Chains A and B, each alone.
Chain A
């Protein structure tokens, strides 16, 4: 089987989830004796191929065109359609980014194919690759397979695979091949204008890969900075159970639970949260759950992967320190 990973970059910087998808591709390839290719698309992006050529893949494809300088769904779909026609991959993989959501289903549909999007993993059953995705906001999981002949299109959720497990090229470098594509200005219907950054007026916890959440155990708002320091050290977003938001110690948009957000991050750290069902339904889809609570019978431990029965005021600073140390 031939696997092609479509990587993503913007304004001269990698979207690192591209590497996570490459890891997924390498793992699928190992299980199915397949070859992996990685593709860079845009204009003036040849330098990105270097990072990919050093990895354990069969080839790097470079697709450049004036009309691909800025991303547009029409541009990317039409260009990649031509690449797939000539390169004939069996499985086309994407990281599940906002950009991929915008064009990848269209690309698949143009070939009469359906896409299995936002997968959290895969496994092999016999000779079929089974893709795993969540439904009902993480409350249920579905094993999905493709029907019909290739090419097949799938995307992986951010954090589903670890980028640092990427295997380096064993001997030298993978070859970089240019693929020419034809695009006409009238084919590009939307016109991309300025890109700008805004202090986000609201936080989308559903997109956070790591969440540090506080409960009643935090006792007073003066103690929250300790949790925030921990969140900073671990690269996570702050969240809370209901009572904290009710008191106004954190804004309502940070509330996790049946009356707040439902999240399924790769890591959820529950500090001083008892684990009432109203909270648990909002986060039990998280891949790894760490619970710290001084009550060993707290229901949160029933769903935790790792548990510490202890005083959060001792554990929080210790954890922050250990994380800083691990960074060095």
Chain B
């Protein structure tokens, strides 16, 4: 099986965020693999262990993104693809999906996996869009994958504790639910082997995809509390009643 995993590099979870224009200041912060994508990678590696084949890690962004691709290689991915783009953070979801789809078109993969969404933008659309652009069937929030020949039996998560089994033909695109597996550690041998694995570099321009932005970030800010804390007074019973009223009629959250 040829399995492609779309992996995003995002600012480290604990990085102090400073606003710079319509994005955050990227200097002086650390970057890491988007956690949801690490579950997709783990799933891909398990499928390879079971069915043989190769796992390809693809990522888009500036030069530093190669470090995350190397991590995927160290964990067992066979090769990497880096779409070089310094302005990656500015792309809307459809534009980035178009780049990915174009880069993957010739790969003719059996399966393309993505994480649910990224910890920075949080669009959550990449998998669905790549499937649409490559005209492949897709499914999202996948908890389990069973491959049978040219078909898959999948377990998909719905809200409120509901699940569903679906059948999906190969090739296809799947978005993997987070936390479904215990992600493996990179081994020393894996880290050494990663140095010799190929990371193909393509520029965004060379893909020849023209994509007009479909949306624009007008303003990007840290939400500040505009209201002052309203302290309630009285006996516990009085305060409780007042609070319920406020939550119901003022804040309108219950």
Contact = CB atoms under 8 A, between A and B. Distances in A.
- Indicate whether A and B are direct neighbours in the complex (CB within 8 Å): yes
Interface of A: 15, 73-74, 77, 97-99, 101-103, 105-106, 108-110, 113-118, 125, 130, 133-137, 139-148, 159, 162, 165, 189-200, 202, 207, 210, 234-235, 258, 266-267, 285, 287-288, 290-291, 301-311, 314-315, 318-319, 321-323, 325-326
Contacts of B153: 193
14 contacts: A73-B137, A115-B94, A137-B119, A143-B218, A147-B212, A147-B216, A189-B169, A234-B254, A235-B254, A290-B243, A291-B229, A303-B225, A308-B232, A323-B244
B28 interface: no
Give the one of A103, A109, A125, A189 with max B CB within 10 A.
A109
Contacts of A285: 223
Contacts of A287: 251, 253
Interface in B101-145: 119-125, 128-129, 131-133, 137-141
A136 B120 contact: yes
A133 to B, nearest CB: 8
Interface string B1-38: 00000000001011001010010100000000000000
A6 to B, nearest CB: 16
Interface string B210-226: 00111111111111010
A142 B219 contact: yes
B239 A210 contact: no
B167 to A, nearest CB: 4
Contacts of B149: none
A308 B229 CA distance: 10
B161 A199 contact: yes
What 6 pairs between A and B have smallest CB-CB spacing?
A114-B214, A318-B240, A189-B137, A114-B94, A143-B219, A322-B240
Contact of A99 (B121, B158, B225, B231): B158
Nearest to B214: A114
Main secondary structure, interface of A, reads mixed
B246 A145 contact: no
Nearest to B227: A305
Q: How large is the interface on B (under 10, 10 to 19, 20 to 34, 35 or more residues)?
A: 35 or more
Contacts of A108: 94
A315 B239 contact: yes
B124 A118 contact: yes
A287 B230 CA distance: 15
A258 B15 CA distance: 11
A207 to B, nearest CB: 7
Given A114-B214, A189-B168, A306-B230, A74 B137 contact: yes
Contacts of B22: 142
Contacts of B230: 305-307
B78 interface: no
Nearest to B161: A200
Given A319-B244, A322-B244, A98 B158 contact: yes
Contacts of A113: 94, 214
A105 B132 contact: yes
A74 B123 CA distance: 21
A102 B132 contact: no
B15 to A, nearest CB: 9
B163 A196 contact: yes
B135 to A, nearest CB: 10
Give the one of B14, B141, B216 with max A CB within 10 A.
B216
B225 A307 contact: no
